[in-house]
Amino acid sequence: MITSIQRLFALSALSALLVSCGGEREGTGKPSPGAEASSKAGRTGAAAAAPQLTRPRSGLTPVFERAATSPGAAKTVALTFDADMTADQGERATRGERFDNPELISTLRRLKVPSTVFMTGRWAEQYPKQAKAIGTDPLFEIANHSYSHYSFTSRCYGLPTIAERDMRADVERAFDAFRKAGARQVVPYFRFPGGCYNNEALRALAPAKVTAIQWDVVSGDAFATDADAVAEQVLAGVRPGSVVVMHCTRSAAPVTEQAIRTIVPELRERGYRMVKVSDLVRKEEGGSR
């Protein structure tokens, strides 16, 4: 009895983690619960032509969702991978759960796919060699997915919530963890756990001088068992300038590597060039950075 309850609890906690990175929004077209307060989060890629970098109001962190494109411009897309591990999951890692996905990284290298990995500081501490290898390979860049993977709003898929006064320190602690691991290709971009944010969070993070990166294409790779379905969903959603959210966490996104082997050749066939988030943001800003 106790065992099944524990098992159920463990399963819900795992769901909360991965769903928090975009899984639940699959096909709903509705904002995620915690993202309601934000003006941008939760859209699932309606054919918006307008620039997607929200110009920051005074004192707020800017938010980027998708690059604007002009007719005839090169077709680019950013594949992003959230390397999720929550601050209190160390014990599960010790028991053998794998929050990493070295096969995925190998495949991205083999297919030569420039990619952005949104890593939690806790992940970098658990897998320092991998964090260093990713963060010293010019094919990749590491962006910040918080240290703790706690929520930056009061309600976000059941994630524990981080206090407003601790938000900036949590983000900076992740940058410290990347540095400590020896990662060098670290960029000033931040993805809110679960994509959940509001103006208070944007204000709290302003001194950290990061740009928040959302997404317009949900891959649905969290807990997926059918790689073809994931590939199909991505291919149906991508348009020029898209940001696709996927995961680099084997235990809870087990078919991502397989899906990538379908997605990448097909996108290239369709004339897309895969780029890092920093390339999309730079383009959006007119090459000013």
How many Cβ atoms from other residues are within 10 Å of residue 47's Cβ? 5
Name the closest residue to Zn ion (Cβ).
21
Q: How far is the CB of 159 from Zn ion (least distance, A)?
A: 9
Indicate the residue among 89 and 258 with the shorter CB distance to Zn ion.
89
Q: How does strand 242-247 pair with strand 63-64?
A: unpaired
Indicate the residue among 122 and 132 with the shorter CB distance to Zn ion.
122
Phi, psi of 79, rounded to the nearest 5 degrees: -90, 125
Give me the residues that bind Zn ion (CB under 5 A), please: 21, 82, 84
Measure Cα distances from 100 to 28, 115, 173, 177, 247 in Å: 28, 16, 20, 16, 9
Q: How far is the CB of 235 from Zn ion (least distance, A)?
A: 23
Indicate the residue among 260 and 267 with the shorter CB distance to Zn ion.
260
Phi, psi of 63, rounded to the nearest 5 degrees: -125, 130
Residue 42 has which token pair?
């939760």
Q: How far is the CB of 105 from Zn ion (least distance, A)?
A: 17
Indicate the residue among 84 and 284 with the shorter CB distance to Zn ion.
84
Indicate the residue among 21 and 238 with the shorter CB distance to Zn ion.
21
Q: How far is the CB of 4 from Zn ion (least distance, A)?
A: 27
E-assigned strands of the chain?
53-54, 63-64, 75-83, 115-119, 140-144, 186-190, 211-213, 217-218, 242-247, 272-274
Q: With residue 175 as reference, give the H or E element that holds it.
A: helix 164-181
